[in-house]
Structure formats: C-alpha cells, structure tokens
Amino acid sequence: MNADTTDTAPVPGSRSFKRAFDDIRSGLRQTELWGHLGWQDIKQRYRRSVIGPFWLTITQGVIALGLGLLYSQLFGLPIETFLPYIVTGFIVWGFISGCITEGMQTFISNEGLIKQMPAPLTIYALRTVWRQTLMAAHNVIVYVIIVAIFFPALSQQYGIQDDACTTGNGLCHPGIDWSILSAAPGFAILALNAGWVTLMLGVISTRYRDIPQLINSLIQLLFYLTPIVWPIDQLYAGNGRDGVSWALPIIELNPLYHFVQIVRAPLIGQHIDGKSWLVAIGITIVGWALALVVMRNYRARVSYWV
Amino acid sequence: MVSIDVRNAYVDFPIFDAKTRSMKKRVLGKVGGKIGSDSKVPIIEALQDVNLQLSDGDRLALVGHNGAGKSTLLRLLSGIYEPTRGSAKVTGKVAPVFDLGVGMDPETSGFENIIVRGLFLGKSRKEMEKRIDDIAEFTELGDYLAMPLRTYSTGMRVRLALGVVTSIDPEILILDEGLGAVDASFMNKARDRLKDLVKRSGILVFASHSDELLLELCDQAMWMDEGRVRQHGRLREVLTGYKGRDPFQNVSREVLERLGQANPDDLAKPSDGTANGQATDTSAATAPANGG
C-alpha cells in the first residue's frame, strides 16, 4: 500500500470530458436545489415589498408602454401593431441580457457557497438561468394583456409600415396563427443557449475579472443594434425608402437578432426567416461545444479562482 | 464502502491581485503556506504532498497553527478543491461544516437555511421539512428559526449548521474549527450527538484547537505545518508533539472521567507502547519516503 503511492493515481485527472459531463448531469438532476435557489433569489429581491415580484411586471409594462407610444410617434408607426412588437421584444431581450450579464457573474456571486458546499458548478448556472426564466414569466403577463387588447389588429395580415401588405414593399406579416406554438421551442433554444453562455462566460469571468466589465459596456450597444425598440421593417423598402438599406445585412450578422426573432416573431404573428432558426441552432451547437471544452479544462479551477 | 484516499496531493492557489514584489518578502514569514514566486502570478502552496488514507470508523483530528492548511485540506476532502497535482478520491456522502458566516444569504430565515443546506447535502425538501422539528429542538433555536440569518450570533449559526449535519446521517463528516463558538451546555449536547454520529457513520475529520473536544471525538491525528503533513498517528502522540506536552495533563477531571468510559484504551495503555501499531495502517504520510 505504501510502496506505490507515487506512481499510481486512483482517480483519473480532473481534466476530462467525463468529469465535465458528470458535473452537468448531476447538476441537472438536482432540480429541487437550483429550483429553490432561483426562487429564493426572486423572493429575496422583493422581500418586504407588498407587490413583490410583480414589480417586474409593472416595470416592464411601464417601460414598454412609454417607449412604445414615443417610438410609434417618432417613426410614424401604428400603435396597435408596434406596441405588441416592442413589449415582446423587451421581454425576450430582458431574458437574453439578464442571462448574459448575470450569467457571467454566476460563480463570482456564489463564491461563498462554492467554497462551503461541494456541488456541481452547473447548479449555479441553472440557478441563474432559472431565476431569469421566472422573471421572464412575470413579464409575460404584460405580453398577454397587450396582445389581448390588440388581438384584432394582430390576428390578420399586417405591416408595421402601413402600406407593406398592399404595395408589396417591405415586410408583410402573416398575423397570429398556430405558428405561435413555435415560440415554445424557440424559448427552449434560448434557454439552452443561456446554459452554455452562463457556464462558459461564468468560468472565464471568474478568472479574468475584466470580462464582465467589457461585456457590460457592450451590452447596451447590442441593445440598440438589435431590432427591439425599432422594427427591422424600417430597413426594408417603403415609407419613403427606395430599396433595402445597406445596414440590413449588417444587422442580420448580429446573432442576438435571430435569437430574439425565434421567440418574438411567432408570438406576434410576424414573418420569420428560416435563417434565424438555422443561426440559433448552429450557435447552440458551437456554443455548447466551446462550453464543454471550457468546463473540461477549467471546471476544477473555479473554486480556486473565486 | 466509505473511504478517503489522498495521494501526493498539492493545492496551489494563484493569487492574481497580489504584487509579486511584496509577496516575496512574505516567503520568510512563519504563518501560512509556502508562497512560490517562480511564475508571474504569485502562488500559495497551501498543501504540499499530502497523503491520507481513511476508512470506515476513522476519526481524524487535524491540528496545526493558523494557516497551516487545515481548512484547505478539509475543502480538499470535501471535494470543493480538486488537487492541483496528485489525487484525492473520496467515496461516500460528505457533509462539511465550514466558516459559518459565509455563503448563505444573510436575509434568509433559519428555516430556509436548513432546507438549502439539506438540499446541498443531497436531501429532498420534504425530507428536510420532516427534520425541522428535530433540528429546532436540538439547536434550541425555536421560534428564532423564522428570523433572518443576519440576526444570528456566531454561536447560533454553529448550532444551526450542526443541527443540520447531525440530522442527516452523513457518511463523512467534516468539521472545521468554529465549534468553539457555542456555549458549554450546548457543547455537551452536541458532543453526545457527534459521538453517536461518529459511531454510526463512517469517517470524521475534525479541525480544532480544543484538546478536550479532540480527545473525545477523535482517535488519530494529523499535524499540519506550512501545508505539509508534519506528523500523523495516534492522537495522543501527535498532540504531545504539537503542543510539546501530553494533552492529558491539561484536561479537566470531568473530561477524563468521560474519556475513561469512551476510550478506555487511550488511557489504559502507555502512549509509546501503541504508537506504531495503529499509525502504520492508516498513514502513509508519516513514511519518510515521501518527505521532501
């Protein structure tokens, strides 16, 4: 027993894909733990407040209503289709940006627990994603109310630009129909991506503390570069524009646009390009591959770095 | 089968925000692990070449100065740190109790805390809810469990954490110092419960500066010094080596009597007679071959 202590290792090195998968698998299995932690975060945030997490709903409603009214006047767009657009966009964006900004802080903010309790890292990533999902769920109430109010306008063909469906210039949207159900797989893809983003950025940000600052400064810019408060329809012909804007292909390079699209478009009966789905699925695969490599190499280092 | 198998394990901490220059001066310091300065980032070699094999029924005391690596070793055994070099294999359900102020949200209630700790230790919410009455009674916190954690004193936090780990029957119990924060009457209760637990569950590893507690709960000891294992063997010998005097000289009569019942062999047999018999099968660490 004593003789060979130096040359045989009883466990394989901690850097293996098996260990990375084990972490993710056992993390996923402990639903009660991350579910509880995620809920606890929401409850704590609105502790002692009477309205509680419904402040989320109210905030979302006020912002969307205010900006919706303002921008519809600025751009000269019809309120009954533009307001649902902006509300839905805000909810989806809120989830995306929340998962990015809080996801990269996942391990840093759980430092105490990581150093105190042995648990898979995935627990903390799921805690973050689950919290964001719950927040999005509260915001969905605003969506339901707005869409109920404007349903007549949304349930038939419409263009966000007035004449899109009659002249053939610009985007003509089919209106809400059964394709609304595809928002569910759309959100599932989004959540899957939130998973890898949280794990990967979380690990990297724990090591390099400049990364969160960098991303924070970029996220605001990304918000304006993604069609959320402005409709992408504006870049197509129509409303006095001769042809398609040179900016359109650039905006379509923004992957966040496609992620917003796969959830938002079906929810408000808008036209969606198959390209958006392809981009989203492609990024899911590439992203998880990268995240697995990061998890394989640096999973065991996180508790040293926090 | 519950077991701990640590072989030639090193734990090196990179310290990203320390200036190398000023850290170099500290290499000569006596407190803390050795600080390496070969690379750009200063590294604290918190554990070096640690070997430890424990199996069912082993009760190990960890002693050493502040910063000797006790807590780091406990974290290694808990699976929180994986060794930078070497290996550490722990089989069995681990329940660690570390510095109690950190980690848990200070705004959450005691109840909430019990549930979260339980969930981390692999219990379900329902199982923990069943145990809450028992924990409330044992910790004597009662209605206080509904208060947020920030209102708790250190001693109360220790009670809470001990209440949880002792209620869930862990296979490997890992206790960091800090147990000293509770008062004498609770300590009596806790000791009984811990003893009971140790009898049932597999392994106890306990870091403490209290001879009396160690004598009552442990039967072997490991002396950590600057991140290395200085001595590993029978409790009495290691404590004598570490403190420079026989630990039995200082314990109260009351404790001696209790020990007389619990561990008769510890008192009955002369210390040098049993020194080698037990040390060799549990410890590869004291073997000079690995020293460096």
Tokens of residue B282, six digits: 């549990």
Beta-strand pair B228-234/B220-225: antiparallel
Tokens of residue A26, six digits: 């056992």
**Residue B134 domain-assigned (yes or no):** no
Q: Domain of B14: which CATH number?
A: 3.40.50
The helices-and-strands tally (H runs, E runs) of chain A is 15, 0
DSSP, collapsed to helix, strand or coil, labels residue B31 as coil
Between B251 and B273, the more confident residue is B251
Alpha-carbon gap, residue A101 to A62, rounded angstroms: 23
Which residues from chain A sit within 8 angstroms of residue B289, using beta carbons?
2
Question: Is the model's pLDDT at B102 over the cut of 90?
Answer: no
* A69, A79 contact by CB (below 8 A): yes
Maximum average pLDDT range among A94-103, B6-15, B277-286: A94-103
**Residue A72 domain-assigned (yes or no):** yes
Instruction: Establish if A4 touches chain B: CB-CB under 8 angstroms.
Output: no
**Residue A45 domain-assigned (yes or no):** no
Instruction: Establish if B289 touches chain A: CB-CB under 8 angstroms.
Output: yes
DSSP, collapsed to helix, strand or coil, labels residue B205 as strand
* ipTM of the complex as predicted: 0.83
The residue segments making up the domain with residue B14 are 3-93+208-290
Instruction: Establish if A59 touches chain B: CB-CB under 8 angstroms.
Output: no
**Residue A10 domain-assigned (yes or no):** no
Closest residue in A to B4 (Cα) is A10
- Nearest alpha-carbon partner for A195 in A295, A49, A86: A295
Which residues from chain B sit within 8 angstroms of residue A11, using beta carbons?
87-89
The residue segments making up the domain with residue A64 are 17-38+51-231+246-304
In a 10 Å sphere around its CB, with 0-12 CB exposed, 13-18 middle and 19+ buried, how is residue B100 labelled? buried
A5, A118, A305 ranked by CB distance to B8: nearest:
A5
* A83, A150 contact by CB (below 8 A): yes
Total domains present in chain B: 1
What is the count of residue pairs from A and B with beta carbons less than 8 Å apart? Answer: 86
Q: Minimal Cα–Cα distance from A129 to chain B, Å?
A: 18
**Residue B236 domain-assigned (yes or no):** yes
CB atoms B82 and A30 under 8 Å = no
Between B143 and B254, the more confident residue is B143
CB atoms A2 and B287 under 8 Å = yes
B53, B81, B112 ranked by CB distance to A304: nearest:
B81
Instruction: Establish if A115 touches chain B: CB-CB under 8 angstroms.
Output: yes
Model confidence, pTM: 0.86
**Residue A27 domain-assigned (yes or no):** yes
DSSP, collapsed to helix, strand or coil, labels residue B11 as strand
DSSP, collapsed to helix, strand or coil, labels residue B43 as strand
Total domains present in chain A: 1
Closest residue in B to A115 (Cα) is B80
CB atoms B107 and A47 under 8 Å = yes
pLDDT in tens, A167-216: 777 788 999 999 999 999 999 999 999 999 999 999 999 999 999 999 99
